[in-house]
Amino acid sequence: MPDDGGGEWVNAAAPSTAAGGTGESEGEVFEELQASDPMVAAYRHDVHKLCGRQHGSSRDAVYGVPVNESVPLGADRDAAVLSRPRGEPAATIDNHVSPYRLSLVTGEAAVETRRIEAATGGGFRELVTPMDPEVLHARWVTSPVPAAFNESVYHPYTSLKYHTLLVAALLDNYRAGYEFDELYLAVSSVESGWECTGEAAISSNSVEPHRTVLWTPALALHVTGEPGGRPAAALGAVPARSFADVWARLPAHPVDTDRDRDWRLLDAQLRRIRSFSTALQFIEEYVAQFQADAVAAGGDAGGR
C-alpha cells in the first residue's frame, strides 16, 4: 500500500491515549485479541485513516481492540488496485492535501455536506469494537462516517468506506476458494421499507454478509463468485480500475434509465468512472440526493 503522505492529521473524534483508547495496558486481554478473525481484521485494517494518521504513526489498538492489522490473501492490495493506479503515488488535485474525501456530487470536501458533517463528530467506535464480522459489515455498509475520508490524500475522490468494503468482499471470496478472475459485480433490487441502520442491513434479504459492497434504497451491489440469478458482469482477469467497463457490461440496468432522466445521468456518469471506491461512493451520494429531492418535491422517493 502506498504511503498516505501529507501531514500528521488528528481527528477530534479519535479516542485519546489518556482515555485508555490505545489498549496498550490491556495485557493478556489484548494479547488474546491480537489473534483476530481475518474478516474482523479486514474492517479494522485502515483505522489509522479514520484517526487522520499516516500508516507509520498508527496505533496498534483503538477502543481496546487491535487495529491496523494485515489483511491476508492480498485482499487489501487487490482492493487498492481497483481504485488507485499502481506505482508511486503522486498528487492529482492541487490544494487538497487532506484525509477528507472530495465529493463528485458537490465538488466539495465530504465533511462539508450536511449528511456527513454531524456523523464525523460522533466518532467511530461502532465501526471497530464489535467482534462479530457480520455486525461490522452491516455497520460499515450503512455508516456515513468512513465516507468522509479518502483512501489516500493523493486520490481525494476515492472512499475509505468503499475501499474497506471491497477489501472485505475480496477476502471473503478468496477464503471461499475463488480467484479474482472468478468474481462478478452482481446487482439486486432492494425491498421496500429500506432503513439505513446496521440492524436493518443484518435482517435484509438484499444484503449478503461481506459481499454486499453497496446498499441503497434504489439498488444493492455485490462482489461475489456466486452471482446466482442476479444480473452480473465479470470483474476481469486481474484487479484494475475498470468500474466503468464492468458497469457497462451488466446485462440489465439496475435503475430505470428509460423513464427517468436522473437515472440516465447516473448511468452515464458510471460509464466514465474507473475507480471502484469512487464509483460506489458516487452512487451512494447521488441516490441520497435523488431521494431527498424526490421527497422535497412530493414525488416517489423509492426511485424504482
Burial of 270 (0-12, 13-18, 19+ CB in 10 A): buried
Q: Across-strand partners of 187?
A: 221
Q: Quick one: average pLDDT of 154-170?
A: 95
> Minimal CA–CA distance to 162: which of 234, 238, 246, 82?
82
Q: What would the pLDDT profile of 109-127 be if each residue is shown by its tens digit? A: 776 555 455 445 556 889 9
Helix, coil or strand: residue 152: strand
Structure-model confidence comparison of residues 150 and 34, the more confident one: 150
pLDDT band at 142 (very low <50, low <70, confident <90, very high): very high
Structure-model confidence comparison of residues 72 and 258, the more confident one: 72
Residues 218, 303 contacting (CB under 8 angstroms): yes
Report how far apart the first and last C-alpha atoms of the chain are (Å, whole number): 39
Where is mean pLDDT largest: 48-57, 131-140, 142-151, 257-266? 131-140
Q: What would the pLDDT profile of 47-94 be if each residue is shown by its tens digit? A: 888 876 555 545 788 888 998 899 999 999 999 999 988 766 555 555
| Mean model confidence pLDDT for the chain | 81
Residue 298 CA to residue 285 CA, distance in Å, equals: 20
Residue 228 CA to residue 222 CA, distance in Å, equals: 11
Q: Quick one: average pLDDT of 258-282?
A: 94
pLDDT band at 99 (very low <50, low <70, confident <90, very high): confident
Residue 234 CA to residue 21 CA, distance in Å, equals: 42
Helix, coil or strand: residue 187: strand
Residue 260 CA to residue 164 CA, distance in Å, equals: 32
Lowest-pLDDT range, 14-18, 39-43, 108-112?
14-18
Residue 243 CA to residue 119 CA, distance in Å, equals: 28
Q: Quick one: average pLDDT of 20-26?
A: 38
Can you read off the three cell numbers belonging to residue 173? 471470496
Structure-model confidence comparison of residues 124 and 250, the more confident one: 250
Structure-model confidence comparison of residues 13 and 292, the more confident one: 292
